[in-house]
Amino acid sequence: MRYISTRGHTDPKTFGQILLEGLAPDGGLYMPEAYPRVDAATLERWRGLSYPDLACEILSLYVDDIPPADLRAICARTYTAEVFGSDAIVPVRSLSPGFHIAGLSNGPTLAFKDMAMQLLGNLLEYELARRGEELNILGATSGDTGSAAEYAMRGKKGIRVFMMSPHGRMSPFQQAQMFSLTDDNIHNIAVEGVFDDCQDIVKAISGDADFKRRHRIGAVNSINWARLVAQVVYYFWAYFRVAPDNAAEVDFTVPSGNFGNACAGHVARMMGLPISRLVVATNENDVLDEFFRTGLYRIRGRDGTFETSSPSMDISKASNLERFLFDLLGRDAGRTRLLMADRLRQEGSFDLGDDPVFAEAAERYGFRSGRSTHVDRLAVIRECWHQHGTLIDPHTADAVRVARAHAVAHVPMIVLETALPVKFASTIREAVGQEPPRPARFEGLEHLPRRLKVLPADAAAVRAFVAGTLQAGPG
């Protein structure tokens, strides 16, 4: 398998080559040259596999520069009951007949980012050791991504993490989760500013090619292909738990922000998994809902991006949408570049509403969408608790609401649960008037010793801290 750029100007690369890269050099996103197709006999064989074995089978279709035995070992040590809470790894439960919830949030940080990030940590450690290289990950987080990256990279040889977050702005649980990591290779930087300031600093430092090269600075953001392919696995897994046989079709609803999760569903569908509809659920930040309803893709400014009670979906643009767009445009890299680079830069939007190709998003690729608001998510959380005895988090609630609007009789609906309620306790209290339960391993988290560096919202200060830490030696 080789990987090409959605903008068409890079030589085909291998999985190992793109593992440590973000954007392709031409500004595009990496895509497999073609989707491997899975036949009926393969589906039948996969149905009985354990989660790590299924992950290995799917990954091996995309990876040909890691020996199979090594890949198997990496999957086996990633997807364990110890890390993900049960042998199922992704338990699937029913809310009501035909309506299911796939639990993607039982990893170390209780959000679905762990599903991919834990694998990426092990893949990176393997690849860096093989190359005799080191990597310093610089990132910005408003919560889930940063902690998932830190928990995936803690203690990994050859890797250090410098993670910026807006000082005092994450939920108390999220702060405790990140700052209580005291591993030598994890560096929390609390920036005196907002999330956008953190992102600007990452951009400023990443734009300094010399500093970046000298200090081996890299990223693990949501456009990383390895993260995306790791997410393909649970679509197959959940399908096998719910579909009575391998001909039956199911629908998925996905709480969406950067479109990484939903895009993995698209990839699973392109591989031949019988998914009928892929429903994209957003909150008030409805960039994706607007696109899938009307064909208009319009990125939002800071003023047009709202702080909501499902904060991990508070995005101004959907970084991974370019991957789907590339397929939608018949893999026309020139046209993808025209829309995503030129048109977005000049006008901040493009509109495919009148283009015949847009109808295919719904018809050929099965996409549907919907949005939800704070009031909706409170009502859904309350109702799930009182009617079904299950507590769901605000992001999952957005999806449950949208899923109901799109559910079709006799087609099982699977909602992806992307976080556990304990991460967003204040919204849960507002909805049901009580504290969300906390898994035993998180008791007393807020009282653990913390390690963090508070810095002003200034790229020079962060740069100096990174350089100084690296100079101080190992760790």
Ligand X SMILES: *Cc1c(COP(=O)(O)O)cnc(C)c1O
CA distance 91 to 85: 10
The strand pairing partners of 4, in sequence order, are 31
Q: Does 377 bind ligand X (CB under 6 A)?
A: no
Nearer to ligand X, 121 or 257 (CB): 257
Nearer to ligand X, 112 or 179 (CB): 112
Q: Count residues contacting ligand X (CB under 6 A)?
A: 18
Nearer to ligand X, 263 or 466 (CB): 263
Q: Does 312 bind ligand X (CB under 6 A)?
A: yes
CA distance 10 to 408: 43
**Cβ contact 215:365 at 8 Å:** no
- Indicate which single residue of 72, 418, 457, 463 sits in contact with ligand X (rule: CB under 6 A): 418
Q: Which stretch binds ligand X (CB under 6 A): 251-259, 289-297, 321-329, 334-342?
A: 251-259
Scanning 30-139, the segments in alpha helix (DSSP H) are 40-47, 51-60, 68-78, 81-84, 113-131
- Indicate which single residue of 135, 186, 325, 419 sits in contact with ligand X (rule: CB under 6 A): 419
Q: Does 29 bind ligand X (CB under 6 A)?
A: no
Q: Does 150 bind ligand X (CB under 6 A)?
A: no
Nearer to ligand X, 10 or 372 (CB): 372
Nearer to ligand X, 3 or 112 (CB): 112
CB of 210 to ligand X, least distance (A): 31
Q: Does 185 bind ligand X (CB under 6 A)?
A: no
Site for ligand X in 253-282 (CB under 6 A): 255-262
Site for ligand X in 110-129 (CB under 6 A): 111-113
CA distance 244 to 237: 13
CB of 255 to ligand X, least distance (A): 4
43 token code pair: 């589906």
CB of 418 to ligand X, least distance (A): 3
96 token code pair: 């009501």
Report helix, strand or coil for 220.
coil
CA distance 121 to 77: 11
Q: Does 106 bind ligand X (CB under 6 A)?
A: no
CA distance 351 to 299: 12
- Indicate which single residue of 337, 395, 401, 463 sits in contact with ligand X (rule: CB under 6 A): 395
Which listed residue (13, 113, 317, 423) is catalytic? Answer: 113
Active-site annotation holds for 317: no
Contacts of 143 (CB under 8 A, 6+ apart): 165, 170, 171, 174, 311, 312, 423
CB of 346 to ligand X, least distance (A): 26
How far lies 339's CA from each of 294, 369, 441, in Å? Answer: 16, 22, 47
CA distance 266 to 113: 18
**Cβ contact 188:179 at 8 Å:** yes
CB of 248 to ligand X, least distance (A): 26
Nearer to ligand X, 189 or 318 (CB): 318
Nearer to ligand X, 246 or 372 (CB): 372
Q: Which stretch binds ligand X (CB under 6 A): 108-116, 207-215, 235-243, 377-385?
A: 108-116
- Indicate which single residue of 181, 205, 313, 428 sits in contact with ligand X (rule: CB under 6 A): 313
CB of 318 to ligand X, least distance (A): 7
Q: Is 28 exposed, middle or buried (0-12, 13-18, 19+ CB in 10 A)?
A: buried
Pairing label, strands 296-298, 413-417: unpaired
Pairing label, strands 296-298, 349-351: antiparallel
How far lies 265's CA from each of 95, 280, 435, 456, in Å? Answer: 21, 10, 33, 40
CB of 321 to ligand X, least distance (A): 10
Site for ligand X in 200-239 (CB under 6 A): 222
Per CB under 6 A, residues contacting ligand X are 111-113, 144, 222, 255-262, 312-313, 395, 418-419
Residues designated catalytic: 113
